[in-house]
Structure 1
Amino acid sequence: MKLSRALLFLSITASTAAIAQTAEKLTPPMEVDIPSSFEATTPQADYIRREVMIPMRDGKKMFAVIVMRKGTSAAPILLTRTPYNAAKATSRNASQKIEEIVPISDAEFINDNYIRVYEDVRGRNGSEGDYVMNRPLRGPLNATDTDHATDAYDTIDWLVKNVPETNGRVAMTGSSYPGFTTLMATIDPHPALKAVVPMSPMVDGWMGDDWFHNGAYRQAGYDYFVSQMAQKGDGDDVASGTGDQYALWLKAGSAGDYVKAYGLDKLPQSRKMQEHPAYDDFWKGQAVDKLLGARPFTVPMTLVVGQWDQEDSYGAAAVFRALKGKDTGGNLHLVVGPWRHSGVNYDGSSLGALRFAGDTALQFRRDVMKPWLDQYLKPGAAKFDVPAAYTYATGLDKWQGTADILDAPLKPLYLESGFGLGWEKAAKADRDTYLSDPAKPVPFVPRPVHWGDADQWKPWLVSDQRFADSRPDVLTYVTEPLTKAVHIRGRPKVDLYAATTGTDSDWVVKLIDVYPEEYTSDPKLAGFQLGVGMEIFRGRYVDGFDKPHALKPGQVENYKFELPTVNHAFLPGHRIMVQVQSSWFPLYDRNPQTYVKNIFFAKPGDYKKATQSVFTGGATASSVMLPVVED
């Protein structure tokens, strides 16, 4: 009996101890369910992915993701510095295959012994520090000791010392904002930075990239400001509803009224736009082409842009122009493809209704970009020659190489009385007029307008222009059907003589390829009016972008401005068209057509109708100067 009690006691004691031991291993009910860090196990992964914090000279740390295929060694690094979330850029899919977690544009590199690195810029997403849009170079606009040049230097220095798989050679690339950070890295560059490929870079936000074009403000920027600056991580657009933005912005009034209505004046970037409507030192001091042009050219560079880049059409050509006189070794190149903004990194076989001869973006990345980078990054790699200008000829559907493109001779195509176009200037002067009403501005795309819709926004520069051709406030000039091709390659220039009954005015000029009315090879393009190059100019800046002034009613002014870089053939049977108008809404803010000091704060009573006159023939013969080449 005593033995049974003893055994029972021992059994109970052992059970109690076991329960106590099990309880010690249980997760407490109130343990926090979001750990300080987590990385899923990837037993079948064919890649290595590391998240690191890279120290900068001021003690702040930048978040970066390093990705490479397993077995990579003695490898070059391809770096992108981005405000668009480095973690997401390297984890597109929940996969253990490296091709699935990186962007498709990385495939050619990670499959050939490259290490891919994405880094959040200062103050965005996982990186420490303060975020400033397009953070200016240290100096008059930046009293700190850090900028994108120093952050790139410090990042590269850390990578070559702390990534054991690297051969110590680095290149940088990226599109749009990352194109800007790529260019900034070439200012006082790290010795390990051997080559760069800036794509659609943000270079001058006033002259012709994201914020203004020749003084006309691009109102779509407010959605970007909110998504980038309302919080450290990724955000949404302005909560202005899902209706037609044409009606929304018309009802809002001026851009300043819109800012006030939605509380956007709380964002410093919105205030900076309003405080600097003209091309003052604020903009001149940030212009990357000017910064680079004042320094030696030391890092081999291939600049890339889309012929129909709807966001940053200006920057690549501006940098090429600023640096080409400094390039003595054939290390500077400009590539223009048949793409929309950043289209070089996606499928390039089509754009809107246009179809091309294969995936033109892949052709460039695989056949040009990678072998060009290899020669600088891989010891023993073959030398790869690229023409100074390498562009895709739309209409002819083929790549072409030339020694130059921006300074091609220009041949005037004159606007004629009777709404024709011709190569000979008419002796007799004449004019055509239209009534421009700010209450009924010309839309930049057919309504309803939804620039948040990627299917509308990305290809809008190749949208059919027939919707505008039929308006009474748009002048249309057109040639007869061509009997032979007219091939242009370069930057067309507008030479417009015009007058207004108002005291300010915008001028929009469109160069258009009109397809034949019968087009059996592709019926959806029958009669299509394809914008080849289109741009806007704010009249108050006719005497200088830093010298705005009221226009004198009725006085003829000569407006000169460039269209984006193109390589395009107008084929036989097609016609060349030029459209002229005075609004491009709501992408660009309405000009009140009454001179006010700052259009951001125009009042309802400032918006007035004006009669616009475009002059043809004689001493005031308007034309579009075309870079015609003989094939």
Structure 2
Amino acid sequence: MRKILLLSACLVALPWMAMAGEPTTPDGGIAADMPEHFQAQDSSFGYVRRDVMIPMRDGAKLHTVIIIPKGAHGAPILLTRTPYSADHMVSFGSSGNMGPILQGYDNMPDVIADGGYIRVIQDVRGKYGSEGRYVMNRPMRGPLNATAVDHSTDTWDTIEWLVHNLPESNGKVGILGVSYDGYTAITALFHPHPALKVSVPMNPMVDGWMGDDWFHNGAFREEMLPYIYEQDGTPKNTATWWASQYDSYDVFLRAGSAGAAGRMRGMDQIGFFRQILAHPAYDQWWQLQAMDRLLPREGLTVPTMLVHSLWDQEDNYGAIALYYALEKDPAAASHLWLAVGPWNHGGEIHEASTMGPVRLRSDTGLYFRQNILEPFLAHYLKDSSIPLPARVTAFRSGENRWESESALPPRDCASGCTTLHLQPGQGLGEQAPGADAGVARYVSDPEHPVPYVARPVVSKGRPDSNWRNWLATDQRNMAARPDVLSFTSPVLTAPFVVRGQPHMHLTAATTGTDGDFVVKLIDVYPDEVADQPEMGGYQLMISADILRGRYRESFAQPHPIPANVQQAYDMALPLANHTFLPGHRIMIQIQSSWFPLYDRNPQTYVENIFLAPKDAYRPATVSVDIARSWLEVHGGASAGH
């Protein structure tokens, strides 16, 4: 009986006793499973990873991931500075060579790993692992930035540390990146470090008001609000944009103005959102941040290759604007190259044998990396005897071939241009119509804006979104709407080439006192396409953009539109390099909304559209003067053939 009682007492006590072999702390508690500092056993890897905090001149330390090929000696450095997490761009996913771990944003294993480069990725100040405070597109030191630091000084200090602390390197550094990381590749060119030998800004943010992420010719890119919310809300993007509707068309329509959509989500807490609301026009705040204004004054002294995508859904302004700004100066032009391809935003770093449903007949991304980017980097970072690519290498869509040129066509159409005239009956051709050609009308209703893709509109970032390829989506759904005008040429009997930036001269009147104008240049496929039946009748945008009517006279000083008075609206469309093939037709579409890519214009003049009340949104009848509206393009029916 005593044994039974003793055993029962032990069993009752077990929950309060440490099991045999259980690790304990000095005070008798259970030790944590997780070590204070875990050390990966990576001695068998084909590379060495270092995580360091590099000090800047103001004392802030920036988190930097360094990947060095095992046994490297005299290797050049490829640097990217990003707000998108250096850790997320590199993983411990392989014990082999560097290639498998360089699968994140901005990484090109076939260029970086196969090329034997030391890879360096750094979180910009205030994001993810870096100290300091984040500012969206931190202004360069000057009127908008009275501190001692900006992206250029952070790059200088980073390179200074790298060349003194990486004995495996040859002391030569290149910087490259896509989008925001392309922007930081541009800022590195201001007072550049002597070890910086080359820069490759790909699809860079250059001027956020004129035509990159935030505005296009004054129209606000409302679909970028979730990006601003998540990117600028917290250091590690832990705040997630929320919506009560699946279709972002409904989300923004029900919110009213873009300002109201942001404020109902607490975005007044975000400094960049407040700046956008305070600066709807192209005032000094925007102009003093435009890289195509600032860099030409600085001067270009580092060999630089700008990379542009013909179907860039986010930053289709920056690279070309910067190219034209720099090429004016012979000294800067001597350091300038340009690559243009049939890609979406950043598509050049991936497999790119299609653009949406359009077949390109080859992997154009691979061609770019092997034949343009690799030799350019190697020439300046490894061996100067490696031949450089042409000053301009551009893909000609339609014909699907690469071309080498010494320069882009001029920005204006002083010579060598063809004019496509709007014609009665919604025709389009090279012959000008008579002065009595009349007008073409449509009613623009802000309560039923034209969507930029077929509904439901699924915002970027969602798995089922077509954001990446929306510029290549079929425009037939839009052409079928009564508030979209479509002017179409006869079926072509010879190739028609368009190069450079098309220029639209539109003359129109509206019954409102404000309004937007969207112009699209479209390739209409034949009714039947033998090897791809689903492309029969497809309407492919070649170049398109928007202009907010209040800025028709001055981007810095808005003016109401006089109601029922014909006004001129001149617009430079994004770069095109395309051949309309025989059997195809050329189309120009005109409309007054592109929603919710861009916020709705109330069509009643208000001081600030971000703050427009709901009763300001009113229908307006738009009358396009056919005889005084045309598109000028470099090229024509015989160009290049």
Q: Smaller-chain TM-score range?
A: over 0.9
> Which amino acid counterpart does residue 513 of structure 2 have in structure 1?
T
TM-aligned CA deviation for residue 630 of structure 1: 2.8
Aligned twin of 2:182:
179
Q: Which of 356, 364, 368 is matched with 1:352 structurally?
A: 356
Aligned twin of 1:413:
420
TM-aligned CA deviation for residue 495 of structure 1: 0.9
- Is the contact between residue 496 and residue 635 of structure 2 (CA under 8 Å) also seen in structure 1? no
Change (3 A) 1:33 1:275: farther
Q: Which of 462, 472, 482 is matched with 2:482 structurally?
A: 472
Change (3 A) 1:516 1:91: same
Per-residue CA deviations over 1:390-425 (Å, capped at 9, x if unaligned) read 111111111111122241643211111110101121
Aligned twin of 2:100:
100
Q: Distance in 1 between matches of 2:541 and 2:64?
A: 40
Q: Which of 571, 577, 593 is matched with 1:583 structurally?
A: 593
TM-aligned CA deviation for residue 383 of structure 1: 3.7
Matched position secondary structure for 2:519: strand
Matches for 1:473-492 after TM superposition, within 5 Å: 473-492=483-502
TM-aligned CA deviation for residue 27 of structure 1: 11
Aligned twin of 1:45:
45
Q: Distance in 2 between matches of 1:594 and 1:159?
A: 56
- Is the contact between residue 68 and residue 110 of structure 1 (CA under 8 Å) also seen in structure 2? no
Change (3 A) 1:240 1:621: closer
Change (3 A) 1:47 1:273: same
Matched, 1:426 2:433: yes
- Is the contact between residue 92 and residue 102 of structure 1 (CA under 8 Å) also seen in structure 2? no
Aligned twin of 2:379:
375
Aligned twin of 1:315:
318
Matched, 1:196 2:199: yes
- Is the contact between residue 42 and residue 96 of structure 1 (CA under 8 Å) also seen in structure 2? no
Q: Distance in 2 between matches of 1:36 and 1:226?
A: 34
> Which amino acid counterpart does residue 56 of structure 1 have in structure 2?
M
Q: Distance in 2 between matches of 1:92 and 1:405?
A: 43
TM-aligned CA deviation for residue 427 of structure 1: 2.4
Aligned twin of 2:11:
none
Aligned twin of 2:622:
612
> Which amino acid counterpart does residue 439 of structure 2 have in structure 1?
R
Aligned twin of 2:9:
none
Q: Distance in 2 between matches of 1:332 and 1:108?
A: 21
TM-aligned CA deviation for residue 112 of structure 1: 2.4
Aligned twin of 1:259:
262
Q: Distance in 2 between matches of 1:480 and 1:286?
A: 45
Matched position secondary structure for 1:492: strand
Aligned twin of 2:456:
448
Normalising by structure 1, what TM-score? 0.93
> Which amino acid counterpart does residue 426 of structure 1 have in structure 2?
P
- Is the contact between residue 216 and residue 588 of structure 1 (CA under 8 Å) also seen in structure 2? yes
Per-residue CA deviations over 1:106-141 (Å, capped at 9, x if unaligned) read 332222221111000011001110100000001110
Q: Distance in 2 between matches of 1:90 and 1:406?
A: 40
TM-aligned CA deviation for residue 20 of structure 1: 13
Matched, 1:503 2:523: no
Per-residue CA deviations over 1:475-506 (Å, capped at 9, x if unaligned) read 00000110011111211111111111100010
Matched position secondary structure for 2:439: strand
Change (3 A) 1:32 1:231: farther
Change (3 A) 1:158 1:519: same
TM-aligned CA deviation for residue 96 of structure 1: 4.2
TM-aligned CA deviation for residue 624 of structure 1: 4.5
- Is the contact between residue 226 and residue 235 of structure 1 (CA under 8 Å) also seen in structure 2? no
Matched, 1:394 2:397: yes
Matched position secondary structure for 2:368: helix
Change (3 A) 1:154 1:36: farther
TM-aligned CA deviation for residue 384 of structure 1: 2.0
Q: Distance in 1 between matches of 2:598 and 2:93?
A: 37
Q: Distance in 1 between matches of 2:98 and 2:215?
A: 39
Matched, 1:436 2:440: no
TM-aligned CA deviation for residue 223 of structure 1: 0.8
Matched, 1:243 2:246: yes
Aligned twin of 1:9:
none
Q: Distance in 1 between matches of 2:92 and 2:227?
A: 22
Change (3 A) 1:142 1:410: same
- Is the contact between residue 425 and residue 621 of structure 1 (CA under 8 Å) also seen in structure 2? no
Matches for 1:593-612 after TM superposition, within 5 Å: 593-612=603-622
Change (3 A) 1:410 1:92: farther
- Is the contact between residue 279 and residue 546 of structure 1 (CA under 8 Å) also seen in structure 2? yes
- Is the contact between residue 517 and residue 546 of structure 2 (CA under 8 Å) also seen in structure 1? yes
- Is the contact between residue 495 and residue 625 of structure 1 (CA under 8 Å) also seen in structure 2? no
Q: Distance in 2 between matches of 1:412 and 1:117?
A: 49
Change (3 A) 1:463 1:39: farther
- Is the contact between residue 245 and residue 251 of structure 2 (CA under 8 Å) also seen in structure 1? no
Identity of aligned residues (%): 45
> Which amino acid counterpart does residue 252 of structure 1 have in structure 2?
A
Matched position secondary structure for 1:491: strand
Change (3 A) 1:621 1:133: closer
TM-aligned CA deviation for residue 207 of structure 1: 0.2
Q: Distance in 1 between matches of 2:66 and 2:310?
A: 32
Stretch deviating more after TM superposition (19-28 or 128-137): 19-28
Matches for 1:5-154 after TM superposition, within 5 Å: 29-31=29-31, 35-91=35-91, 93=93, 95-103=95-103, 105-154=108-157
Structure 1: runs of 5 or more not aligned: 1-18
Matched, 1:331 2:335: yes
Q: Distance in 2 between matches of 1:315 and 1:336?
A: 13
Aligned twin of 1:12:
none
Matched, 1:538 2:548: yes
TM-aligned CA deviation for residue 235 of structure 1: 3.2
Q: How many residues align?
A: 610
Per-residue CA deviations over 1:266-310 (Å, capped at 9, x if unaligned) read 111111111100000110010011110112210111000110000
The ranges of structure 1 where at least 4 consecutive aligned residues each deviate by more than 6 angstroms after the TM superposition are 19-28
Q: Distance in 2 between matches of 1:21 and 1:397?
A: 70
> Which amino acid counterpart does residue 379 of structure 2 have in structure 1?
Q
- Is the contact between residue 312 and residue 341 of structure 1 (CA under 8 Å) also seen in structure 2? yes
> Which amino acid counterpart does residue 522 of structure 1 have in structure 2?
Q
Matched position secondary structure for 2:190: coil
Aligned twin of 2:13:
none
Change (3 A) 1:304 1:529: same
Q: Distance in 2 between matches of 1:391 and 1:597?
A: 42
Change (3 A) 1:624 1:593: farther
Q: Distance in 2 between matches of 1:92 and 1:527?
A: 48
Change (3 A) 1:35 1:273: farther
TM-aligned CA deviation for residue 373 of structure 1: 1.1
Structure 2: runs of 5 or more not aligned: 1-18
> Which amino acid counterpart does residue 229 of structure 1 have in structure 2?
D
Q: Which of 293, 301, 305 is matched with 1:302 structurally?
A: 305
Matched, 1:362 2:366: yes
Aligned twin of 1:283:
286
- Is the contact between residue 208 and residue 214 of structure 1 (CA under 8 Å) also seen in structure 2? yes
TM-aligned CA deviation for residue 616 of structure 1: 1.3
Q: Distance in 2 between matches of 1:36 and 1:287?
A: 46
Matched position secondary structure for 2:298: coil
> Which amino acid counterpart does residue 449 of structure 2 have in structure 1?
P
Q: Distance in 2 between matches of 1:270 and 1:627?
A: 42
Aligned twin of 1:14:
none
